[in-house]
Each structure stands twice: as C-alpha cells, then as structure tokens.
Amino acid sequence: MHPLLNLTQVTKSFGDLEVLREIDLEIRSGEVVGLVGSNGAGKTTLLRLMAGVYQPTQGTVLLADGKPVSQMRQALGVVPESTGLYSRLTAWENIRYHSRMHGVSDKDAWARTAKFAEHLGMVESLGRHTKGFSRGMRQKTALLRALAHGPSILLLDEPTAGLDITSARTVRKLVNQLKTEGGTVVYSTHQLSEAQQVCDRIVIVHNGEIRADGPPQELLENTGTDTLEEAYVSLTKDTARPRQEDDSKEGRFTGLWRSFFTPKPPKMPDRGESDE
C-alpha cells in the first residue's frame, strides 16, 4: 500500500476553540480506515480538512504528489452528513450533474453508476425524482454521486446514521465491495461494531486528538483488552467534551461544505429540448 493522503501536525481552531490538535494521519491506498469517536470528538472537522473544505490552522493536508487537497477535489468522493440532493431532479440527474462538474462524460458516469446501483438495489430508482425518497434512498443516491467520477479516496461521514437495518447493511456491503476491488475509504462512525465489520484500520479520535491508530487486533493487544469496546473505553477515560463541530459559529462552513460538493443546479431544459 502506498500513501494517498497525508495530514502532518494538523491543528484546527475556530476562534479560541481548538477542535483538533496536532493530528498526524496517513491514508494508504486499498484500505478502509474507520474514524471512531463520540459526538464532538472532531471526526467531521477531520473529514472536512481531508476534503479541502477547511484549511488547517497549523500543519498540512497533502496528496501523495505533494499538492494541497483543496486543489485536487476531483480525487475525492464525499458523502457528508446532509446529502444535499435536489428534489426536483431525478437520482440520475443529481449524479450526472455532479459528474459533469468533475469533467466526467455521461457515458463513463453512467457506467460506474449502473455498476454500483446494482450493489445498492437502486437501478429501478435512478429515473425517479428524489423528492419522495426515504432517508436510505437519499443516502444511496449520495453514495452513487460520490462514486460516479471515479475518486481515488471516498470520504463517508456517518454513512449509516438514521438508516434502517436493511439500508445500513447494504451500505456496509458496498464498502466491503469497494475494499475487495482495491478502493480506499475513510469511514467516520461512532459505532465500534460497524467499524469492526468494514474497516482494516481504526483511528480513535477523542477530544480533538488521535488516541490510537491500527488494525482492530493490534488495538486489543496494545490495550490488553478482549473487545474493541473495552479498548475504546481504556483509551478515552477522560470526559468527552460537548459536541463542538456544529455550533452556531460554524453555520457558514456547513454551507461552504455543501457548496463544494452540491453546487447550484443548472437551469433544466424545456421538455421539448434534447437531453443529449
């Protein structure tokens, strides 16, 4: 495995509030990395730094070729907490528009979309408007949108939060399929059992710091515990701080996050115009 993304001594503050402190993290090709931590640990801020939406207060976030990730967003596929779909567009229109923003032809985008839609059970729904979609359907559409341009790294922010058991299982199966195909995924979750099912490596984030980073078995050995839950508790004994990633000061950043990955849709053609 070779490095794809490097975070070096990254600190992120909002005014006097320090959300992340001196983060060193390397994302390597072909692995699924789980970011595990409680609400407020700093996982979402860390993902936004990886996506180039936030700039670090200190430190660097660089791709393998040394370029800042903010200049190479086409290398990333992102599924944020809010899917940001346009309800007046069909699932495929949402996906196609996003792919065109990355310079991907409709033919190539459709080929990838159709492939992964099979895994998600979404083929028959691609032509439906997303307005009536369930949360699970919207999340699956957002996943397809993130994959359609062929990203090098897929960033998932709590991808199964609020989903029913069947939909959550389908999402996990897709991540496992991507892993089988050599894909690289960063998977944020507060569910240890979920991380254990899909991740090769687990990064425990607590109060803005990385407390552990390694394969599940290694974490157990290093902490002298029998389960990941016991390992997590032993590494995070200090009181967790309140959630700080979505406070009122960050409202404009949330809008910025969405604007990068779901820009305003173009004017739809009249019914009489060709869609080609």
Does residue 91 have a pLDDT over 80? yes
pLDDT of 249 reads 46
Token pair, residue 28, equals: 């390597």
**Pure H helices in the chain:** 43-50, 91-101, 106-120, 135-147, 165-180, 192-198, 216-223, 228-235, 251-261
Report the CATH fold assignment for 3-14+29-58+76-260: Rossmann fold (3.40.50)
CB 50 within 8 A of CB 43: no
Specify the pairing of strand 76-79 against strand 185-189. Answer: unpaired
Q: What is the pLDDT of residue 75?
A: 86
Q: pLDDT tens across 114-163, in order?
A: 999 998 999 999 999 999 899 999 999 999 999 999 999 999 999 988 88
pTM: 0.83
State yes or no: pLDDT of 30 exceeds 90. yes
pLDDT per position as a tens digit, 186-243: 999 988 888 988 999 999 999 999 999 999 999 999 999 999 999 999 999 887 766 6
How far apart (Å, rounded) are the C-alpha atoms in residues 193 and 186? 16
Say how many residues make up the chain: 276
Q: What is the DSSP letter of 50?
A: H
Q: Where are the domains of the chain?
A: 3-14+29-58+76-260
The rounded distance, in Å, linking the Cα atoms of 15 and 204 is 25
Label residue 80 by pLDDT band (50, 70, 90).
Answer: confident
Calpha distance 52→72 (Å, rounded):
8
The percentage of the chain sitting over the pLDDT mark of 70, rounded to a whole number, equals 87
Two structure tokens written together for 76:
């990333």
> d(Cα 52, Cα 73) in Å, to the nearest integer?
7
**125 half-sphere exposure, CB direction, 13 A CA radius:** 21
Query: How far is the C-alpha of 190 from the C-alpha of 43, rounded, in Å?
Result: 9
CA distance 56 to 35: 18
Average pLDDT of the chain to the nearest whole number: 86
Portion of the chain with pLDDT greater than 90, in percent: 63
Strand bridging mode 185-189 / 153-157: parallel
State yes or no: pLDDT of 51 exceeds 50. Answer: yes
* Phi, psi angle pair for 157, to nearest 5°: -105, 105
Q: What angle do CA 40, 45, 47 make, to 5 degrees?
A: 120
Residue whose token pair is 């053609």: 269
Exposed / middle / buried, residue 114 (Cβ in 10 Å: 0-12, 13-18, 19+)? middle
Q: Where are the beta strands (DSSP E) in the chain?
A: 3-14, 17-28, 32-36, 58-63, 76-79, 153-157, 185-189, 201-206, 209-214
* pLDDT at residue 74 greater than cutoff 60: yes
pLDDT score of 47:
94
